[in-house]
Structure 1
Amino acid sequence: MESETNDNISITSQLHLNNSTNANDRVDSYGFEMPEGYESYEKMMAEYVAVLTRRSIKWSKLLQGKVHVEKNLKVKRYVRKGVPNEHRAQIWMAASGAQEQLEKNPGYYHSLLGTEQQHDAKLEETVRIDMHRTFPENVQFRNSSEPCLQKALYNVLLAYGHHNQAVGYCQGMNFIAGYLIIITKDEEKSFWLMDSLLGRILSDYYSPAMLGLKTDQEVLGELVRVKAPAVWQAMAQHNVMWTLVVSRWFICLYIDVLPVETVLRIWDCLFYEGSKILFRVALTLILHHQAEILQARSMVEVCERFKRITQGAFTYDCHTFMQEIFREPGSLSMATITKLRETCREHIVAEMSRLRP
């Protein structure tokens, strides 16, 4: 019965989205209003459709109706070249371990929602405050939509807050859950994907101290010191902390930073390969626009340059962009990142202890 309901939601939502798209040519296939200069996006997508069609045929042959997907070099190569939207939820679920958790814990998600009397009132209030702030430019999250994905978003965030009480809810999680719901059209799958992301792939990113997030920002700084020393020196010269320019990149996983199609391609790799992909994206943006960043003459100008480098044709062309993230930064092993994380984490913990009253 539940599967049938989800299918109905998916079909109804797609019909609504198609109607909205007809009414407004500047709405993309995910329900987002396209920004100024969207013509370049449309041109890219016209060419990208042929790529998507070829990928879809190859993925269908690879999967052959299977739910579980074996991890191997062939699948990794396929993921890096892009997962077609019709297979995206399945691949994310399988690659991240979320499908396994869902099958091991039947009914668990719905038990977390329970009855209103069982809910944490403070958690409810905090989640509800962010509902209207979540993708107001997306037609599927507007109150006038039928169905409105705000209800599904509220449920997923509330359930996750009860499931992981050490994290509860913090800003940024609403955007991640929103993207998951757009793709899966399924609350339970979105919940387990959140669990994979926040509990395993991005451990400590959303804990109260956000130690994982702070650590990875420092790790990026160390990687830039090696791979783009001139940029690192400019950051130091203008006294710009990495948290000032890249915290949003990491905490929102590039949502509202890069174009939707590009973000989803990044997430394909994030669920399959882990958090290393976040560094590849950041390094590519910095290396590719190194000359532009070095033109900055103040802290304000540096920050402005970092905003600007996430926009334009380079990031809209998701297929070329994804090829570049595996070429431009060069070698980047997980062993290197792990070692840097240990060093940076120790430094941050020591600094937090020093500042603690």
Structure 2
Amino acid sequence: MTRYDRYSLSTDQQQQKQTLNPPAAAADRKLDTVAVAPGTTMTDEELLLLERANAERDEIFLRYDQGRKCDSIDAWEDPMFEVYTQADRYGFLHPVAPAQSKEAELLQHRIEMERVKKWVKMHKNWDAAATKENLRRRVMKGIPDRMRSAIWRKLLDLDRQIRENGGMYDRMLDCARRHSPDIRQIDFDVNRQFRNHVFYRERYSVKQQSLFRVLAAYSMYNTEVGYCQGMSTVAAVLLMYFDEEDTFWALDVLMTNQRYAMHGLYIVGFPKLMRFLAHHDRILTKCLPKVKKHLDKHEVHSVLYSLKWFFVIFIERIPFSLCLRVWDIYMMYGERVLTAMAYTILKVHKTKLLRMKDMDQVTDFLQTSLHKQFGYDDDYVIKALQSSMDELKKLKLLNLPPPSANELPTMPRGQTVEPSTKARIGHRNEQFSEREIALKETVLYRSESKNEEEEEQYNNGVQGAGDRAATAEDEDDERTEKDYDDITEDTVSQLHTGVSTSSLRTIQSFTTFDTGTSLATSLNSLVIIDSFDDYCDNDRIIEESTRL
């Protein structure tokens, strides 16, 4: 069995393999690479919390090992596939097939097939044929999707990575099973990553299992980062084109190679993200002063709209087909492409942005509308991107300022040290604040009141149930406002403190990020609400807004 076969087994084959070769019991497993800190002492409470953390990690791994045969898949985790009827060429599911004429499809297919022939020829004779200018020209025209895996593999030099690190992935995965403090957050993020894609639609599908294992292994391989939300998005895209182990090494190249250096985006303090934002503002001031002044007037700071541009390379901010074209160029040129693309987006939509009257319009357009409909075809945007890169190069603004010392790994990777007790326990030892307790009680109280009222109406057959329900709800609102008036404003303010990024609010300071263990409270999971009542009406989000 090759290393590729091992990760492509069906669920039944995986379970049969586990039956024949069951994993070692936790007490029998040893890891030579883990160094335990000398003189470590723990209180009884810490021991109990650590035992709970270990049990939870083992349980999560077991569910992913079992895959679709797992008996703990909740209905909300596994929506019915039938709600979607069409999949696009990239595997994303839609209620209605994306509109495209037959003639356009045929033309696109003919062009792509011609390009495939050229790419196949270049790939077979890579060292001689892939000259810098030839490769640059073809990448700008777009890598055919069926060739994307092979060409990305060459651009990232994955074969050398795997050859020089034989067996490392398996060791790190085994280490993660026993020691990773990030398993719970990884599980949360895998469960919500690209659920509208055929690969990730089903809970504990083969690709969900692979994504979980890649992130778990990497959390122990690069302990300076561990795991940060955003990494799951990047890894999920890579898994669309690579197998499991290749994805692990592709992620490592993107994180640690100086051309990309995404390590600095995810470490404590987000130093590279700060550098991206500052450089983006510098470009706007120089090249788009009217747009910059307009955005400043409406308090639309760059952090409000550009986090995903830099953090996950434009995923879910522009159409996926265009995003892949940007990824192609990013694989070749590196970080400079991101600042140029950010500038290009604002440049091509300059007129529309200047007509917008408030913060809501601008942020909704840049965060949501462009993802659904960019307004220009992919070829036009890539030509504009190339023009932007040439323009910024002349102005000496294409490259970012020099990085800080900690933006690249300072420790050898793969030499894992056992996480500290605090890291392994995570936030379990922290108590909820009085405001959080009061807020949770409010949610539960309102939910219980509504349930009791509905049950009473059903049992007694009361006429005018709709009117009474509305009256009871109004009474609940009044009672809530009276009983919790003293915490309302402060609680909402506290919930916004993590990142002040609402479309209705001004950014305060990026230093307010909680950059603690594994950065579990991260960019995509922050809850933004418009009022206290809106929050209380949505019981489900209480789980994500409070401490994990």
Normalization by structure 2: what TM-score? Answer: 0.55
Assess if the C-alpha contact under 8 Å between 2:85 and 2:95 holds in 1. Answer: no
What is the CA-CA distance between 1:112 and the residue it aligns to?
0.7
TM superposition shift of 1:64: 1.7
The alpha-carbon distance between structure 1 residues 46 and 257, as it changes in their structure 2 partners (threshold 3 A), is farther
What does residue 109 of structure 1 align with? 169
| 1:244-283 CA distance string (max 9 Å, x none) | 1111221121111122221111111111110111122211
8 A contact 1:83–1:268 mirrored in 2: yes
**1:1-357 pair list within 5 angstroms:** 1-2=1-2, 5=5, 26-34=86-94, 38-40=98-100, 45-64=105-124, 70=130, 72-114=132-174, 118-120=178-180, 122-143=181-202, 148-184=206-242, 186-200=243-257, 201=260, 202-307=262-367, 308-312=369-373, 314=375, 317-328=377-388, 330-333=390-393, 336-338=397-399, 340=401
Cα gap change, 1:225 to 1:50, in 2 (>3 Å)? farther
- Provide closer, same or farther for how the CA distance between residues 274 and 118 of structure 1 changes in structure 2, counting only shifts above 3 A: same
CA shift for structure 1 position 298: 2.1
Cα distance between partner residues in 2 of 1:239 and 1:24: 38
Task: Say if 2:298 and 2:359, in contact at 8 Å, map to a contact too.
Answer: yes
Change (3 A) 1:218 1:45: farther
Q: For residues 62-96 of structure 1, what are the alpha-carbon distances to aligned partners after superposition, in whole Å with 9 as ceiling and x for unaligned?
A: 12265998551111211111112232222222212
Hey, which of these two has a bigger chunk of helix by percent? 1
Distance in 1, matches of 2:370 and 2:317, equals 10
Which protein shows a greater Rg? 2
Q: Distance in 2 between matches of 1:341 and 1:306?
A: 28
Distance 1:76 1:116, change over 3 A: closer
Q: How far 1:153 sits from its partner (Å)?
A: 0.2
Counterparts in 2 of 1:22 and 1:76: CA distance versus 1, 3 Å: farther
Stretch moving more, 332-341 or 230-239:
332-341
Deviations 1:267-310 (A, max 9, x none): 11111110111122211211111011111222222212323344
3-state SS of paired residue (1:253) = coil
Structure 1 gaps, min length 5: 11-20, 346-350
Structure 1 letter corresponding to 2:241: I
Matched-pair contact (CA < 8 Å) for 2:336–2:399 = no
Note the C-alpha offset of 1:22: 12
**What is the identity percentage for the equivalent residue pairs of Structure 1 and Structure 2?**
23
Contact kept, 8 Å, 2:275 with 2:400, in 1: the verdict is no
| Equivalent-residue separation in structure 2 for 1:339 and 1:150 (angstroms) | 35
Distance in structure 1 (CA, Å) of the matches to 2:168 and 2:130:
26
Task: Report the more deviating stretch, 107-116 or 132-141.
Answer: 107-116
Aligned residues: 334
SS of equivalent to 1:205: helix
Instruction: Give distance in 1, aligned partners of 2:129 and 2:167.
Output: 23
2:495 corresponds to: none
Q: Give SS of 2:226's match.
A: coil
Change beyond 3 A, Cα 1:206–1:44 = farther
Cα displacement (A) at 1:41: 8.9
The 8 Å contact of residues 389 and 398 in structure 2, kept in 1 or not, is answered as: no
Preserved CA contact (<8 Å) 2:214 2:247: yes
Post-superposition offset of 1:166: 1.0
Contact 2:186/2:215 (<8 A) preserved: yes
SS of 2:87's equivalent in the other structure is: coil
TM-superposed deviation, 1:152: 0.3
The one-letter code of the counterpart of 2:384 is E
Q: Using the alignment, how far apart are the partners of 1:176 and 1:69 within structure 2?
A: 29
Q: Do the aligned partners of 2:173 and 2:216 also contact (CA within 8 Å) in 1?
A: yes
Mapped to 1, the partners of 2:190 and 2:4 lie a distance apart of 26
- Tell me: CA distance 1:67–1:130, structure 2 relative to 1, closer, same or farther (3 Å): farther
Distance 1:179 1:39, change over 3 A: same
**Aligned partner letter, 2:201:** R
**Matched residues in 1 for 2:82 and 2:382: separation?**
30
Alignment partner of 1:323: what SS? helix
